[in-house]
Structure formats: structure tokens, C-alpha cells
Amino acid sequence: MTTALDTVPRTTADEELTVVPVRHWGRWIAAGAALLSLAGLVGSLATNANLRWDVVGDYLFADLIFDGLATTLWLTVASMALGLSLGTLVAVMRLSSNPVLLGLSSLFVWVFRGTPLLVQIIFWGYAGALYQHVKIGVPFTDITFVQVDTNDLLTPTVAALLALGLNEAAYASEIVRAGIQSVDVGQTEAAHSLGMRPALTMRRIVLPQAMRVIIPPMGNETINMLKMTALVSVIAAHDLMSNIQDVYAQNYQVIPMLVVASLWYLALVSLLSVPQAWLERRYGRGTGRTERATVLGRLLGGARLFGGRPKNAKEKVR
């Protein structure tokens, strides 16, 4: 008796089946159009006489630019340290069952996340108009232990640090809170059953596991902080953007000087992306995700897929 399976042609181990990969012509056309547009833009910028590449070259490695870069990097590191430490404290307070701590932490986040960063920078920069002196003493009495002039205490750099750090603390607290809540509550209960105190449980059990959720957005916050330091130029904090503005206020070369600033910001952001990718891989171990961490790896992988199958064109069918 003949069945339907007997009519299907079969291949032997020695026979070869030629596999023709699918050609995605639309991808090649789109890629070619994108590269052509990019080449046209780059060529237009390179040959534009108004861009003044000679001015860019003169100021790209100037001492004034390096002084601004040092201040920008210092503000970024100090503001992120202040924001992360204070944000972790605020996040723990928001998860507390104490209504006073919960209310104060919620008020902090509401104020510093609800007002623009530029407004906060200007406020701290001109805080001397609100309080002429900063006093430490007994409240509601004339007893004063320390009194300092506000303008002497809140220099432009200190004002910028306070504005950036407090604003970052409000956002960091929400990131840390989300990371803590992503850890299963059974971890905390198991630690308490072993006799671990809540503070020790948070430090040794919960936070290390929460880092997998915290690291990616916190890396983005660090990069964003680097760029947000440009806003402190409104109070002349002597950062990179402040020094750039001082230069083009004298030579009127606005566009070339902005190109100098952009090149340095791009370079710094690229450097910050390296430790961010390393931390994401480190804290993401054991999650079953094997994504390429580098942009170059993703581009090479995508290029192999443009022509269809990345394997050999011929396969043996057994």
C-alpha cells in the first residue's frame, strides 16, 4: 500500500541542498540613502567657510578650555556622589512605614523634581538676596554660634553643586526605590529569619540585587549630569560652557566655539559609556541575557544580517 509519505522525494547523506539566502534589497537601499545623506552633510560642514575650522583648531586644546573641562568633570562627579548618596537615603525613607519620614521624603522629591533645574541653579546662585547671612544657633532666639556671609559661602561653584546634587537626588531616589522594590520580598524575610537587622539586610542583601535595575538608568543620569553642567553657565561657574561663552563674547565666533564645546562633550560622553557598559555586564550576569554591550558589536552583527542568513550557503541534509 502506497502512502503520501512514499511520494515525497528524500535526500541521502551525500546529497547537498543549496540554500539561497533571502536578499533584503530594501535594507540596502535604505542604508545607501542614509550613508549618502550623511556624506552630504559631512561634506557640507567640512567645506563651509563660515564654520571656521581654523578657530576650532586654535581653541580645541586651549588652556581656558581645559580649565573649564576640569570644573565640568568635578561638578559631574561631586553632584552624582551627592545625588546618589542622598537619593538612596530618600528612597529608603519613602519605603519606610514612618509617616513623618515618608512625608518629608515625598515633599523633597515633589519640590526638587517638580521645578526646572535652571530655576534651581539661579535660585542657589542668588540665595544671598533671600538670606544675607547663614546662621547656626538656637532657633527662635538671638543665640548664634556661627554666622557666615551667604555670598562668601555660596560661591558660583558651590551653588552649582547644590543645585545639581539636590536635583539629581530627587531623580536618583526614584531609581533606587524602583530597584529596591524589584527585589523579591522573600529575600528580606529570609535575611530577617537569620537574625540580620534591617540596615544590614538592606546593605548586604537588597541593594546588591537591586543594582541590576539601578545601574542602567543611573548611567544615563551620569551622562545627563555631564551635559546639564552646561546650565551653570548662567551663574558663571567657570565650567566648560561658561568659558566658551566668555570666548565668543570677545571674538564673536559663536558657531566655531559651540563646535569646540560639542566635540568635548561628545568625547566625555563616549568615555563615560565604557564603564556604564562594563557595570551593566557585571551586574547583569546570571540573567540569561547575552546582548552585545558595545555599539560596534551590534553594528557588525547587523551588517551580517543584511544579506540574509549569516551561515554558509550550502548545508547537508540528513
What share of the chain has pLDDT > 90, as a percent? 40
pLDDT on residue 113:
92
Residue 27 contacts residue 305 (beta carbons within 8 Å): no
Which region among 6-20, 32-46, 165-179, 266-280 has the lowest average model confidence (pLDDT)?
6-20
pTM for the predicted model, two decimal places: 0.76
- pLDDT tens-digit profile of 187-197? 888 888 888 88
What confidence category does residue 318 fall into, taking pLDDT thresholds of 50, 70 and 90?
Answer: very low
Cβ contacts of 122 within 8 Å, gap of 6 or more: 234, 235
Select the highest-mean-pLDDT range: 47-56, 172-181, 207-216, 301-310.
172-181
Cα(127)–Cα(140) distance, integer angstroms: 21
3 state SS for 273-304: HHHHHHHHHHHCCCCCCCCCCCHHHHHHHHHH
Quote the distance between the C-alpha of residue 191 and its chain's center. Answer: 33
Q: Would you say residue 215 has pLDDT above 90?
A: no
pLDDT on residue 299:
56
Burial grade of 305 (CB within 10 A; 0-12, 13-18, 19 or more): exposed
pLDDT on residue 21:
78
- pLDDT tens-digit profile of 103-132? 999 999 999 999 999 999 999 999 888 888
State the average pLDDT over residues 247-272: 91
